[in-house]
Amino acid sequence: MPLSKITAPVLVLILSLVLPACSSEPDPATGEPAATAAQPPAPVSMPLDDTAAAVAAVDTLRLLAADAEPGSWMSYGRTYSEQRYSPLNKVDAKTVSDLGLAWSFDFNTTRGIEATSIVVDGVMYTTSSWSIVHALDARTGKHLWTYDPQVNKAKVKHGCCDAVNRGVAAWEGQVFVGVFDGRLVALDAATGKVNWEVATVDPALPYTITGAPRVIDGKVLIGNGGAEFGVRGFISAYAADSGKMVWRFYTVPGDPKLGFENKAMEMAAQTWNGKWYDLGGGGGTVWDAMAYDPELDLLYFGVGNGTPWNREIRSPGGGDNLFLSSIVAVRPATGEYVWHYQTTPGESWDYTATQHIILADIELDGKTRKVLMQAPKNGFFYVLDRTDGTLLSANNYIDITWATHVDMETGRPVEAEGARYIDSPLAVTPSYLGGHNWHPMSFSPQTGLVYIPVLDFAANYGQPEEFVYRPGVANTGTSGIIGSLPDAQAERDAIRPLMKGRLLAWDPRTQSEAWRVEHNGPWNGGTLVTAGNLVFQGTADGKFVAFSADKGETLWEFPTQTGVVAPAVTYEIDGEQYVSVNVGWGGAYALVFGEYVQSDSMPNVSRVLTFKLGADGKLPEVNWRPTVVFNPPPRVAQEAVEHEGFGLYQDICMGCHGLNAVSGLIIPDLRGSAWLHDADGWNSVVREGLLSKNGMASFGGHITREESEAIRAYVIQQAWRGKELQEGVAIGD
């Protein structure tokens, strides 16, 4: 029976009948090993284990009745409501102190790890970077099979935020993964063999996929990323048995002269100006959040930023620019538009609404309401009526400067004067990484609280001196120089205490803070909440922690030896409850904010860590600490050339190699590159793709030889700055 035909009474009847049932990667700048990292074990054996009992027998009834088998974690957020709440309670506030490491599994990578593991029928399915899928025995961590989609490493230049992947979906004996290069692949759950694969995007365009698919009634749903690089966003549905596309919903209108796919696009076009379709398509990618209400038969998804970020360039003359930064509801069978709510009309700050969406029934003003909750990048926490998108309440969950409040009559934020940085540069909170990024939050029906991994710091925005649209590279429409760090080291050091991160318990009924735990810095992991009055979260400084869900007290922690950004899951097998988390430092903050990452964070050690009561496993020692060896050639370029290179670097290179050429060391720090001594060699790497197989793609179609040389001159300048700083010379004072 199609889900759209299941009425509420029938659904209740159905639910009542269901039985519960690494070696380091090569340096893209030198081609040599990235360094002094402790070598992980050799790559896991690739032959498939045909004896694996991995059948992933997930279907409509099992997913609808997920609460009837709390020992499984069958979809990204455990249930269609995406609450990330587990009814399991053998590990609780009293017993958690006895939690110990049961097993671990090492990934053969040093890139970011962001996946939520799926656990079904005794098997864990998870992903590492480069969209590699692993099947493990969930009891022991025994390797069953690995599928490597063999992504062309040069494709990483189209990824804003590392070669990450957030997980898979399971359905009727298959496991589905969205591959970084835009493919959707269906794997046999028992063997890892490919059943089918399909290109969900035009491979000639700078699309990527990092998000986890979802499956509804035999349709696999997948979006994509790449908005800054020049694409037109959409979400698609594919038949799970064949890979045939069933429907596609575009989030941004195309060229009006060519007509519109539907009335929703015709409506959206009224909110755009200029020729956004010539700037790569307008953006609006659907790169993460989805949730589903089977009773209302509505699929909800979040939409990202525009191309470029800056509306003054993207849509001169203004306009809300639908459906950028919006939550959209459609029919999952057809993709038919039902309603939308735009969190940031005409957004200009990269304030996406792709952050985690949670569905719940909560009491507001004495009445139980079907709500949708989101804490998007813009700093406001929204509670919507999920039946029709009506705004019920909104309040800022961090201190913000771009707006004062949300007008409840119009549903629109009231922007602060000058927030759009049109006339002068401005420091704006939150930054382009948001008050909350992709790291999933969770909701407990017991406490009524939402647990949010919060980011809290500002970024500088300003108009570029001259905007040049460069297809295939990041186009923000903001000044990279204005957005850079100050030259004086004392000023940089003063910024560090302002880079904050916390675990925030938020009451959506009162739109107020219940409690908070301050962390040592930003970019901490997603959250899991359980019926045992526990909230689990990993931290950037290498801990996996259990807090009491009602008060935020620290009850237990485990040293992970690496930063943690992924969320945990919990499951039960043979009467034992397990808690598992994927660890490994990476993602946008780790790449961009190298100035603070190098001093604060831990190295990347990519693993699955799984815990149970009474276990006492140990991790091997990790002795690696990243360093940069400075040996720059003399500075011979004119100051004007270095300044030109500064702007080009910030616009083109910063997203991978770090602000002001200071890397987070997941990607090599160019200030230590031997290629700085060889102009021709530098050009062969940067423009001719000499090291493209290692991930350093060719930028020959984006910049000239002279521009490449200007970037080299700037990096040499910064290498001397780093060398002098290392030798104790005061910088910029």
Active site residues: 350
Measured distance CA(671)–CA(669) in Å, rounded: 5
Measured distance CA(665)–CA(492) in Å, rounded: 19
220-239: buried (b, 16+ CB within 10 Å) or exposed (e) per residue?
Answer: bbbbbbbbbbbbbbbbbbbe
Backbone angles phi, psi at 550, to 5 degrees: -85, -30
What SS3 state is found at 110? Answer: coil
User: What would the two tokens of residue 613 be?
Assistant: 């009561």
Q: Would the CA dihedral through 471, 473, 477, 481 be positive or negative? A: negative
Identify the DSSP state of 504.
E
User: What would the two tokens of residue 5 be?
Assistant: 């035909």
Q: Enumerate residues 6+ apart whose C-beta is below 8 A from 638.
A: none
SS3 readout for 512-556: EEEEEEECCCCCCCCEEEECCCEEEEECCCCEEEEEECCCCCEEE
Query: Across the strands, what pairs with 196?
Result: 186
Measuring CA to CA, which residue among 451, 355, 345, 469 is closest to residue 407?
345
Chain-centroid distance, C-alpha 5: 34
Angle at CA 497, nearest 5°, toward 492 and 502? 135
What's the residue count for the chain?
Answer: 733
Chain-centroid distance, C-alpha 102: 28
What SS3 state is found at 579? Answer: strand
* Exposure on the CB side of residue 299, measured as CA atoms within 13 A: 28
Query: Across the strands, what pairs with 337?
Result: 330
246-259: buried (b, 16+ CB within 10 Å) or exposed (e) per residue?
Answer: bbebbbbbbeeeee
Amino acid found at 264: A
Query: Across the strands, what pairs with 326?
Result: 342
Amino acid found at 391: L
